[in-house]
Chain A
Amino acid sequence: GKKNYKADGHPSGGVGVPGGGAVGGGGGGAVKTRKPDNTAFKQQRLPAWQPILTAGTVLPAFFIIGLIFIPIGIGIFVTSNNIREYEIDYTGTEPSSPCNKCLNVSWDSTPPCTCTINFTLEHSFESNVFMYYGLSNFYQNHRRYVKSRDDSQLNGDNSSLLNPSKECEPYRTNEDKPIAPCGAIANSMFNDTLELYRIDNDTRTPITLIKKGIAWWTDKNVKFRNPTGDGNNLTALFQGTTKPVNWPKPVYMLDSEPDNNGFINEDFIVWMRTAALPTFRKLYRLIERKNNLQPTLQAGKYSLDIAYNYPVHSFDGRKRMILSTISWMGGKNPFLGIAYITVGSICFFLGVVLLIIHHKYGNRNTSADIPN
Chain B
Amino acid sequence: VYCVSKKTINNGKMTLFNNSIKTSKYNFFTFLPLNLFEQFQRIANAYFLFLLILQLIPQISSLAWFTTVVPLVLVLAVSGVKDAIDDFNRHKSDKHVNNRPVQVLINGMLKEQKWMNVQVGDIIKLENNNFVTADLLLLSSSEPHSLTYIETAELDGETNLKVKQALTVTAELGEDLQKLTEFNGEVRCEAPNNKLDKFTGTLTLRGEKYALDNEKMLLRGCTIRNTEWCFGLVIYAGPDTKLMQNSGKTTFKRTSIDRLMNVLVLVIFAFLGLMCLILAIGNGIWEHDKGYYFQVYLPWAEGVNSASYSGFLMFWSYVIILNTVVPISLYVSVEIIRLGNSFYIDWDRKMYYPLNDTPAQARTTTLNEELGQIRYIFSDKTGTLTQNIMCFNKCSINGKSYGISSGMGRESELSKAEKVDFSYNPLADPKFAFYDRSLVEAVRLNDVPAHRFFRLLSLCHTVMPEEKKEGNLVYQAQSPDEGALVTAARNFGFVFRARTPETITVVEMGETKIYKLLAILDFNNVRKRMSVIVRSPEGDLTLYCKGADTILYELLHPSCNSLKEETTEHLNEFAGEGLRTLVVAYKSLEEDYFQDWIRRHHEASTALEGREEKLSELYEEIEKDLMLLGATAIEDKLQDGVPQTIETLAKANIKIWVLTGDKQETAMNIGYSCNLLNDDMEDVFVIEGSTSDDVLNELRKKMKPDSFLDSDEINIQFEKSSKKQIIIPDEQANGVYGLVITGHSLAYALEGNLELELVRTACMCKVVICCRVTPLQKAQVVELVKKYKKAVTLAIGDGANDVSMIKTAHIGVGISGQEGMQAVLSSDFSFAQFRYLQRLLLVHGRWSYIRMCKFLKYFFYKNFAFTLVHFWYGFFSGFSAQTVYDEWFITLYNLVYTSLPVLGMSLFDQDVDDRWSMLFPQLYVPGQQNLYFNKVVFVKCMLQGIYSSLILFFIPYGAMYNTVRSDGKAIADYQSFALMAQTCLLIVVSVQIGLDTSYWTVVNQFFIWGSLSVYFAITFTMYSDGMYLIFTASFPFIGTARNTLSQPNVWLAIFLSIALCVLPVVGFRFLKAQLKPTPSDKVRRNYLIKPEILLSMAWARWGAALHRLGSAWSVSPGQELATAIVPSKKHRNPSGGGSVEPQALNTSLLH
Interface residues of A, Cβ cutoff 8 Å to B: 2, 4, 6, 9-11, 13-20, 22-26, 33-38, 42-44, 46-55, 58, 61-62, 65, 69, 72, 76, 128, 130, 132, 134, 137-146, 148, 151-152, 155, 157, 165, 169-170, 184, 187-188, 214-219, 222-223, 270, 273-283, 286, 311, 314-316, 324, 326-333, 335-336, 339-340, 343, 347, 350, 354, 357-358, 361-362, 365-366, 368-372
B196 to chain A, nearest CB (A): 27
Interface residues of B in 619-669 (CB under 8 A from A): 640-641
Cβ-closest chain B residue relative to A83: B963
B908 located at the interface, meaning its Cβ lies under 8 Å from any Cβ of chain A in the complex: yes
* A11/B963 contact (C-beta < 8 A), A137-B290, A365-B1082 known: no
* A142/B880 contact (C-beta < 8 A), A35-B349, A276-B972 known: yes
Cβ-closest chain B residue relative to A315: B293
Interface residues of B in 867-895 (CB under 8 A from A): 876-878, 880-882
Q: Which single member of B972, B1084, B1089 contacts A280 (CB below 8 Å)?
A: B972
- A188 vs B296: C-alpha distance when bound (angstroms): 8
- Could you tell me if B878 and A139 are in contact, using CB atoms closer than 8 angstroms? yes
12 pairs of residues in contact across A and B, judged by CB atoms under 8 Å = A9-B1143, A18-B640, A44-B908, A48-B910, A142-B882, A187-B297, A218-B1042, A273-B975, A276-B976, A339-B1056, A354-B1067, A368-B1086
- A35 vs B1025: C-alpha distance when bound (angstroms): 55
- Could you tell me if A333 and B961 are in contact, using CB atoms closer than 8 angstroms? yes
Most buried by A among B348, B968, B1039: B968
Q: Which single member of A54, A315, A354 contacts B296 (CB below 8 Å)?
A: A315
B978 to chain A, nearest CB (A): 8
- A16 vs B1063: C-alpha distance when bound (angstroms): 47
- A223 vs B1002: C-alpha distance when bound (angstroms): 42
Using A13-B1147, A278-B877 as known contacts, list a sample of 8 further A-B pairs with CB atoms less than 8 Å apart, ordered by residue number in A: A34-B358, A128-B968, A151-B1032, A218-B1042, A276-B977, A328-B966, A335-B961, A372-B922
In the A-B complex, the 3 residue pairs with the smallest Cβ-Cβ separation, listed nearest first, are A218-B1039, A276-B977, A42-B347
* A336/B1053 contact (C-beta < 8 A), A9-B1143, A17-B640, A52-B1084 known: yes
- A116 vs B713: C-alpha distance when bound (angstroms): 83
- Could you tell me if B358 and A139 are in contact, using CB atoms closer than 8 angstroms? no
- Which residues of A sit under 8 angstroms from B976, Cβ to Cβ? 276
* A143/B880 contact (C-beta < 8 A), A33-B357, A58-B1070 known: yes
- Could you tell me if A366 and B974 are in contact, using CB atoms closer than 8 angstroms? no
- A372 vs B970: C-alpha distance when bound (angstroms): 63
- Could you tell me if B1043 and A35 are in contact, using CB atoms closer than 8 angstroms? no
Interface residues of B in 281-323 (CB under 8 A from A): 290-291, 293-294, 296-299, 301-302, 317
Cβ-closest chain B residue relative to A270: B970
Most buried by A among B966, B1074, B1090: B1074
- Which residues of B sit under 8 angstroms from A49, Cβ to Cβ? 1000
- Which residues of B sit under 8 angstroms from A188, Cβ to Cβ? 296-298
- Could you tell me if B1052 and A42 are in contact, using CB atoms closer than 8 angstroms? no
B533 located at the interface, meaning its Cβ lies under 8 Å from any Cβ of chain A in the complex: no
- Could you tell me if A370 and B1082 are in contact, using CB atoms closer than 8 angstroms? yes
- Which residues of A sit under 8 angstroms from B967, Cβ to Cβ? 326
Q: Which single member of B62, B349, B1049, B1059 contacts A347 (CB below 8 Å)?
A: B1059
- Could you tell me if B960 and A276 are in contact, using CB atoms closer than 8 angstroms? yes
- Could you tell me if B294 and A139 are in contact, using CB atoms closer than 8 angstroms? yes
Most buried by A among B298, B1036, B1143: B298
A318 to chain B, nearest CB (A): 13
B1151 located at the interface, meaning its Cβ lies under 8 Å from any Cβ of chain A in the complex: yes
- Could you tell me if A145 and B297 are in contact, using CB atoms closer than 8 angstroms? yes
- Which residues of B sit under 8 angstroms from A216, Cβ to Cβ? 969-970, 1039, 1043
- A316 vs B1038: C-alpha distance when bound (angstroms): 33
- Could you tell me if A276 and B973 are in contact, using CB atoms closer than 8 angstroms? yes
- Could you tell me if A333 and B974 are in contact, using CB atoms closer than 8 angstroms? no
Query: Interface-forming stretch among B85-93, B121-129, B951-959?
Result: B951-959
- Which residues of A sit under 8 angstroms from B913, Cβ to Cβ? 6, 9
Q: Which single member of B640, B974, B1074, B1144 contacts A11 (CB below 8 Å)?
A: B1144
* A316/B293 contact (C-beta < 8 A), A277-B961, A370-B1093 known: yes
- Could you tell me if A53 and B966 are in contact, using CB atoms closer than 8 angstroms? no
- Could you tell me if B347 and A36 are in contact, using CB atoms closer than 8 angstroms? yes
- A368 vs B291: C-alpha distance when bound (angstroms): 66
B1083 located at the interface, meaning its Cβ lies under 8 Å from any Cβ of chain A in the complex: yes
- Could you tell me if B1001 and A336 are in contact, using CB atoms closer than 8 angstroms? no
- Which residues of B sit under 8 angstroms from A53, Cβ to Cβ? 1066, 1069-1070, 1073
- Could you tell me if A330 and B1001 are in contact, using CB atoms closer than 8 angstroms? no
- Could you tell me if A371 and B922 are in contact, using CB atoms closer than 8 angstroms? yes
A66 to chain B, nearest CB (A): 10
- Which residues of B sit under 8 angstroms from A324, Cβ to Cβ? 964, 968
* A51/B922 contact (C-beta < 8 A), A170-B299, A275-B974 known: no
- A328 vs B297: C-alpha distance when bound (angstroms): 36
Mask, B1049-1086, CB within 8 Å of A = 1, is: 10011001001100100110111011101010011111
* A330/B347 contact (C-beta < 8 A), A141-B876, A214-B969, A372-B920 known: no
B971 located at the interface, meaning its Cβ lies under 8 Å from any Cβ of chain A in the complex: yes
Interface residues of B in 904-923 (CB under 8 A from A): 908, 910, 913-915, 920, 922
A160 to chain B, nearest CB (A): 8
Q: Which single member of B968, B1060, B1074, B1148 contacts A362 (CB below 8 Å)?
A: B1074
Chief secondary structure at chain B's binding surface = helix
B559 located at the interface, meaning its Cβ lies under 8 Å from any Cβ of chain A in the complex: no
- Could you tell me if B355 and A343 are in contact, using CB atoms closer than 8 angstroms? no
Q: Total A-B pairs in contact (CB under 8 Å)?
A: 336
- Which residues of B sit under 8 angstroms from A52, Cβ to Cβ? 998, 1084-1085, 1088
- A138 vs B1028: C-alpha distance when bound (angstroms): 28
Q: Which single member of A43, A326, A333, A362 contacts B959 (CB below 8 Å)?
A: A333
Interface residues of B in 542-563 (CB under 8 A from A): none
Cβ-closest chain B residue relative to A6: B913
B1029 located at the interface, meaning its Cβ lies under 8 Å from any Cβ of chain A in the complex: yes
Q: Which single member of A42, A50, A217, A280 contacts B999 (CB below 8 Å)?
A: A50
- Could you tell me if B878 and A336 are in contact, using CB atoms closer than 8 angstroms? no
* A36/B297 contact (C-beta < 8 A), A218-B1039, A276-B974, A335-B958 known: no
- A369 vs B975: C-alpha distance when bound (angstroms): 55
- A331 vs B1047: C-alpha distance when bound (angstroms): 12
- Could you tell me if B963 and A331 are in contact, using CB atoms closer than 8 angstroms? yes
- Could you tell me if A357 and B1025 are in contact, using CB atoms closer than 8 angstroms? no
- Could you tell me if A218 and B1038 are in contact, using CB atoms closer than 8 angstroms? yes
* A283/B346 contact (C-beta < 8 A), A48-B908, A65-B1063, A336-B1052 known: no
- Could you tell me if B344 and A339 are in contact, using CB atoms closer than 8 angstroms? no
- A217 vs B1042: C-alpha distance when bound (angstroms): 10
A17 to chain B, nearest CB (A): 7
- Could you tell me if A16 and B1151 are in contact, using CB atoms closer than 8 angstroms? yes
- Could you tell me if B640 and A20 are in contact, using CB atoms closer than 8 angstroms? yes
Q: Which single member of B358, B847, B962, B1091 contacts A281 (CB below 8 Å)?
A: B962
* A36/B293 contact (C-beta < 8 A), A16-B1151, A354-B1070 known: no
- Which residues of A sit under 8 angstroms from B847, Cβ to Cβ? 44
- Which residues of A sit under 8 angstroms from B1049, Cβ to Cβ? 329-330, 333, 336
- Could you tell me if A327 and B966 are in contact, using CB atoms closer than 8 angstroms? yes
Q: Which single member of B358, B999, B1091, B1147 contacts A48 (CB below 8 Å)?
A: B999
- Which residues of A sit under 8 angstroms from B354, Cβ to Cβ? 14-15, 17, 23-26, 33, 35
B965 located at the interface, meaning its Cβ lies under 8 Å from any Cβ of chain A in the complex: yes
- A222 vs B1038: C-alpha distance when bound (angstroms): 8
- A366 vs B1063: C-alpha distance when bound (angstroms): 23
Q: Which single member of A9, A22, A326 contacts B964 (CB below 8 Å)?
A: A326
- A188 vs B299: C-alpha distance when bound (angstroms): 11
- Could you tell me if A330 and B965 are in contact, using CB atoms closer than 8 angstroms? yes
Cβ-closest chain B residue relative to A276: B977
- Which residues of B sit under 8 angstroms from A333, Cβ to Cβ? 958-963, 1049
- Which residues of A sit under 8 angstroms from B1042, Cβ to Cβ? 218
- Which residues of B sit under 8 angstroms from A314, Cβ to Cβ? 293, 296
- Could you tell me if B298 and A145 are in contact, using CB atoms closer than 8 angstroms? yes
A28 to chain B, nearest CB (A): 12
- Which residues of B sit under 8 angstroms from A273, Cβ to Cβ? 970, 973, 975
